[in-house]
Amino acid sequence: MSMAMSMVTRKITTTKIDFMNKSEVKVIGILERVGGFASAQELYQLLQRNGESIGLTTVYRSLQSLVSDKIVDQLRREDGEAIYRLCGDSHHHHLVCKQCGSTVEIEGSAIERWTKAMAEEHGFREVGHTAEIFGICPKC
């Protein structure tokens, strides 16, 4: 559907290696710096602050393309806004303070196993998950 995608599809006939266009490289660059999830709007603002010349439309288009090429993961915040991150960033979860908003990244090997087990038990494939813990931190 997207131009970038059809281009990739066509050129991939022999190898998986292909180039991305300028905008996609910029988006990947900022995602790298962010190191985790960010929304399209946030990425756009970060790029602006970094002095990059790129339009919001193009940020959205690049993200779409990167997602459909499996280079970027797309999830949803609780309010429905889409958030993106580079595939391969280490997977983790969050412990968030309801009061002050401070966040702790936590490892979730237990939850990873639980997810896998539940999915298998019900015959689901291509499984992903979300898990966040909310509470009140020691300081609050």
Partner DNA sequence: TGCGAAAATGAAAATCATTTTCATTTCTGA
Partner DNA sequence: TCAGAAATGAAAATGATTTTCATTTTCGCA
Site residues, its own copies (CB under 8 A): 76, 78, 80-82, 95, 97-98, 104, 106, 108, 110-111, 113-115, 117-119, 122-138
Site for DNA in 53-92 (CB under 7 A): 53-58, 60-62, 64, 80-82
If one asks whether residue 130 binds DNA (CB under 7 A), the answer comes out as no
Report how far residue 127's alpha carbon sits from residue 52's, in angstroms, rounded to the nearest whole number. Answer: 36
Concatenating the DSSP letter of every residue in 67-110 gives: HHTTSEEEEE-TTS-EEEEETTSPP-EEEEETTT--EEEE--HH
Site for Zn ion in 48-67 (CB under 5 A): none
- Indicate which of its own copies, Zn ion, DNA, none lies near residue 103 (CB less than 5 to 8 Å, by partner kind): none
Residue 8 Cβ, how far from DNA at the closest point, in Å?
9
